Structures are given as C-alpha cells and as structure tokens.
Amino acid sequence: MTHETPRSNAAGRLTVSALVIALGMIWAAPSPAMATEDPIVAPSFDLTDPERIALGKKRFNKTCAGYCHGSDGVGGRAPDFKGRTDLPDEEAFRTIFHGRRTSDIMPPWGAAFSTDQIWELVAYIKFLGTQ
C-alpha cells in the first residue's frame, strides 16, 4: 500500500489543473479559419462549371454529408447549405481548409484535399445555395 503525502497529492492536482487550463486555452483559441491574412489561391476553374460541381458533390457526399451536413446539404448536425446565399467563397474555402473550433466544430481538410478539390467542394456548396 502506498501512502501519498498531502504535498505530493496537491502537486498532482496542480499538474492536472494546469493541463486542463492549457488545453482549454488551446481549444478556445481563435480558429485559423477566421484569419483573413491567409492568402487564398483563386480557383483554377469557374465555380459554376457543372463538371466541377459534380466532383464537389461526390466528395461532399463521401466526406461531409453523412454525419455533419446531411444529404443534399441539409439535415445534418452542422449548418445547412441548401438555400444559403450568404457564404463568401473565400470564407468557405478557409473553413474547409482550416476547419473550425466554434460552436460548430469542423475538422480541417487542408491536408487531405488539394486546393482544386476544396474549390470543387466550394462550387458544390455554392450550387446548393441556389437550390
């Protein structure tokens, strides 16, 4: 049987408390998705190109629809896109690339998708806004 002294027990609680505070500060830090200084590479295609919208739809249905944004961009646990016309292209790109840590948490996809693939997702999201 080990016996902890009050001093070692207090030090352990202090360490755990410091860790919890540090993690909370990291979690509450402003999301890089909201940084307007990030240079955005312009799309290499027209965002209304039906072929690119179709590619974006395929990727959206594979990675975004099931749990978060719902089928056809509506009905998921995250914001709907159908009928939404207030989302600027660059903000959509940044959010997909960097993710978000606000009340609507979204993982970053910048390491998983190429710039063109992210713009295809933006094209599809913009298309959903017209529906």
Query: In 10 A of CB 125, how many CB atoms?
Result: 26
The DSSP H or E segment spanning 106 is: strand 105-106
Which pLDDT value is given to residue 76? 78
pLDDT band at 2 (very low <50, low <70, confident <90, very high): low
With beta carbons less than 8 A apart as the criterion, state whether 83 and 129 touch: yes
In tens, the pLDDT along 52-93 reads 999 999 999 998 887 788 888 887 788 888 899 999 999 999
In tens, the pLDDT along 15-53 reads 444 433 433 433 334 444 444 456 788 999 999 999 999
DSSP H helical ranges for 39-84 = 50-63
pTM: 0.69
Name the amino acid, one letter, at 21: I
Which pLDDT value is given to residue 46? 96
In tens, the pLDDT along 86-114 reads 999 999 999 999 998 877 788 899 999 99
**In this structure, which long-range contacts are made by residues 47-55, counting pairs with CB atoms below 8 Å and at least 24 apart in sequence?**
47/89, 47/119, 47/122, 47/123, 47/126, 48/123, 48/126, 48/127, 49/123, 52/119, 52/120, 52/123, 53/120, 53/123, 53/124, 53/127, 55/117, 55/120
DSSP summary character for residue 68: I
Which pLDDT value is given to residue 74? 85
pLDDT band at 6 (very low <50, low <70, confident <90, very high): low
